Amino acid sequence: MRAIGFRVDGSPSIGMGHIMRSISLAKKFHSQGYIVYFLCRQQEGANRIKSEGFEVVMLRGQDSNIEGIGFNYGDASSLSTEVEELGDILKELNIQMLFIDSYNVSFEYFIKIKSLVNKICYIDDLNKFDYPVDVIINGNICAEDLNYKKFSKDEILLLGLKYNLIRDEYKNIPHRTIKREVKDIMITTGGSDPYHITDKILSSFLESAYFKEIKLHVIVGSGFKTVDKLSGIANINQNVILYKDIKKMSEVMLKSDIAISAGGSTLYELCACGTPSMAFIVADNQKNIVECMAKQNYIQSLGWHYNLTSEKLREQLKALIADYKLREKMSLSMQSALDGEGVDRIYEVIHAKWDGSS
């Protein structure tokens, strides 16, 4: 059987977006008979992958603070050491194709990896340099505006929403019917919340009588450090509902009339569900996504998280709640933006080109 690998990490500082989209693609290859291995350095991400039934090979040293073999993200020496470690693993497991989903890469890193496997597929967001790989996958709305250049004439570019790595649960969702009265609002900041934005948003709503009849559905990611505090808030506010380790987030998205979300892959899931959404930016790689989606009127932007005040949030949300026609228009545009077939398209291109073996 053919073996492929995914080199990806997830943690409270990195987030879980890389992990989740890699899992989406891994499931497709696994369903087609491929043996799939994940190669990880961070335990939090590895645990999430294992919960989906995949085998994880842990690399040595989670970060530079661990005794023994340390790893400094962005450090050339650490990347070189990783290549040596990967060489042994790839050979032992007979991995012929490696998917890499990480910003912690360099031109030299890719060149060295190319000598270890037949094919490299890089899942990217930023186009930081010309990548010496076989396939570049960027399923973001703004991917085609990044002016990718092929490193070689045979390099394959899979760019734009047509190749978005959305999960299977968001495929074939029926057309959304928008309710005139907003009764449920979803709040999600991703797999972790290092800036405690969830607390800030909740406080903003709970201190205003305007929102007292609205249920607040709060997604608590695996990397949250304030779970006890949020649980305490939910215990004394019957309209605050926490979802911990949720397995099917589409169910919450579909029951919510509006979502307030961090930028990133969650916005594509909200599009598939047709949930009118407002998004704030937490990291540099989210900026283009939020701005492009807001420009296309799929979502409303709240800007950078550190500029988000309680007053601004409440006023913008009140305006959206009051504008039924706008919410209806947003929902229709969102669901027409992507069809959820990106993973299948990526698989078909790669499988038809190499059949996973050459």
299 and 272 assigned to the same domain: yes
* C-alpha to C-alpha distances, 266 to 131, 183, 280, nearest whole angstrom: 26, 21, 12
What domain count does the chain have?
Answer: 2
Start-to-end CA span in the chain (Å) = 13
- Check whether residue 76 and residue 190 sit in a common domain: no
Q: Is the pLDDT of residue 290 over 90?
A: yes
Query: Would you state the pLDDT for residue 1?
Result: 66
Judge if 267 and 303 occupy the same domain.
yes
**What pLDDT is stored for residue 245 in this prediction?**
79
Query: Which has more pLDDT, 339 or 356?
Result: 339
Q: Are residues 69 and 196 in the same domain?
A: no
Asked which of 86-100, 223-237, 269-283 is least confident by mean pLDDT, the reply is 223-237
Shared domain for 260 and 309, answered yes or no, is yes
Residues 233 and 118 in one domain: no
**Which pLDDT value is given to residue 247?**
82
Residue written as tokens 């790989």? 133
Average pLDDT over residues 155-180: 95
Q: Residue 100: helix, strand or coil by DSSP?
A: strand
- 63 pLDDT higher than 60: no
Among 66, 78, 12, 71, CA closest to 225: 12
Say whether both 345 and 320 belong to one domain: no
Among 94-108, 127-141, 257-271, 343-357, whose mean pLDDT is lowest? 343-357
Domain that holds residue 34: 3-166+340-354
Q: 187 and 151: one domain?
A: no
pTM value > 0.75: yes
What pLDDT digit, counting tens, does each position of 64-114 carry?
A: 333 333 445 567 788 999 999 999 999 999 999 999 999 999 999 999 999
Which pLDDT belongs to residue 138? 97
**pLDDT at residue 16 in the model:** 83
**What would you report as the CA-atom Rg of the chain, rounded to the nearest whole angstrom?**
21
| Per-residue burial over 148-178, b = 16 or more CB atoms within 10 Å of its CB, e = otherwise | beebeeebbebbbbebbbbbebbeebeebeb
Q: How high is the pLDDT of residue 77? A: 82
Pairing of strands 35-40, 215-220: unpaired
Measured CA distances, 152 to 41, 98, 148, 171, 188 (Å)? 30, 18, 12, 34, 40
Do residues 4 and 35 touch, judged by C-beta distance below 8 A? yes
Distance CA 187, CA 207 (A): 16
